Amino acid sequence: MARIAGRFGRVEPRASARAYLLGLLSKAERKNCWQLAEQTGLARPGPMQRLLRSARWDADAVRDDLRAYAVEHLGTDGGVLIVDETGFVKKGHSSAGVQRQYTGTAGRIENSQVGVFLAYATSPGRALVDRRLYLPEQSWCSDPERRHAAGIPDEVQFQTKPRLAWEMIAAAQEAGVKARWVTGDEAYGQDPQLRAALEARGTGYVMAVACSTRGADQPRPHPCPRGHRRRPTARHRLAAAQRRSRCERPALLRLGLGPHRQRQPPPPADPPQPHDR
């Protein structure tokens, strides 16, 4: 706490920040202000709520201090940057960035906020070193009144999640974080601009991509390699059976048609016999 204490100009927010930090490091099941206040012995959550809502302090400067602290204690040998997102399920509609969207936290579409996070990992351990709030384009970035009510600065514009990830990666590298490579899931691996930016900086990456993704120099496989017969699928076998069935059907002959394709009258019926009466 001594490293970041100077980021808070007054005693009250500094004490609230210490209590909030201890609460985050505690074993409390839920990490909201009510639970954290109770965990740290506060009678009410008001001081923590003011710290997060209206107190004046530089969150990015605190982030820089914590990132430097993490690198000092985790070292740089074999360091890896990990980018991923997580969701925070919400009940209201006033929190910045909240809307109905998919979140891995719930495993379905929920009313939630989504944040993109950057972690730094080495052999001794791992730690979160940066964060960005994802601001949806239609429901937030294009609504000035809603932005103003939530306190979102005018200079904050819509950015995709891969773009937010790249900003955090670039900031970490410029701050001296030495990571040999970056990793992430398919949401980031399928973005060509993120991959190109990492390659331009000379940073390796291992990211998931969709199974249909093809490399730039990967040839399209031949439909049937030479010297090999393609194994027939169930659909092909069914089609072949239908063709055989058509060939094996008995021929249909038109009966009762004369040379001029006129229908002939039916033969006269036999006269009734005595035993039929």
pLDDT, one tens digit per residue, over 70-125 is 999 988 778 999 999 999 999 989 999 999 999 888 889 999 999 999 999 998 99
4, 60 in Cβ contact below 8 A?
no
SS3 273: coil
**The two structure tokens encoding residue 121:** 């990992």
Tokens read off for 144:
């000035």
Query: Residue 123 is which amino acid?
Result: S
Q: Can you give the length of the chain in residues?
A: 277
Q: What pLDDT does residue 240 have?
A: 67
Tell me the C-alpha distance between 64 and 171, whole Å. 10
pLDDT of amino acid 217 = 57
Does the CA dihedral 242-243-245-249 come out positive or negative? positive
Provide the pLDDT for residue 268. 58
Average pLDDT, the chain: 83
Please compute Rg for the chain using Cα positions.
35
CB 99, CB 110: distance < 8 Å: no
User: Which residue in 130, 138, 132 sits closest to 115, CA to CA?
Assistant: 132
pLDDT average, residue stretch 184-189: 93
Summarize pLDDT for 127-181 with one digit per residue, the tens. 999 999 999 999 999 999 999 999 899 899 999 999 999 999 999 999 989 888 9
Segment 198-217, tens digit of pLDDT: 999 999 999 998 887 776 65
Q: Which residue has the tokens 């974080």?
A: 177
Other beta carbons less than 10 A from residue 144's beta carbon:
10
Residue 226: pLDDT over 80: no
**Rounded to whole angstroms, how far apart are CA atoms 119 and 161?**
15
Residues 271, 207: Cα–Cα separation, whole Å: 92
- In this prediction, residue 277 carries a pLDDT of 47
CA pair distance 122, 79, nearest whole angstrom: 5
Domain ranges of the chain: 1-57, 58-207
**Is CATH 2.60.40 what the domain over 58-207 is classified as, yes or no?**
no
pLDDT given at position 2: 86
- Calculate what percentage of the chain has a pLDDT beyond 70: 77
Instruction: Spell out the alpha helix ranges (H) of the chain.
Output: 11-24, 33-39, 46-53, 59-74, 144-150, 161-174, 186-189, 192-201, 234-248
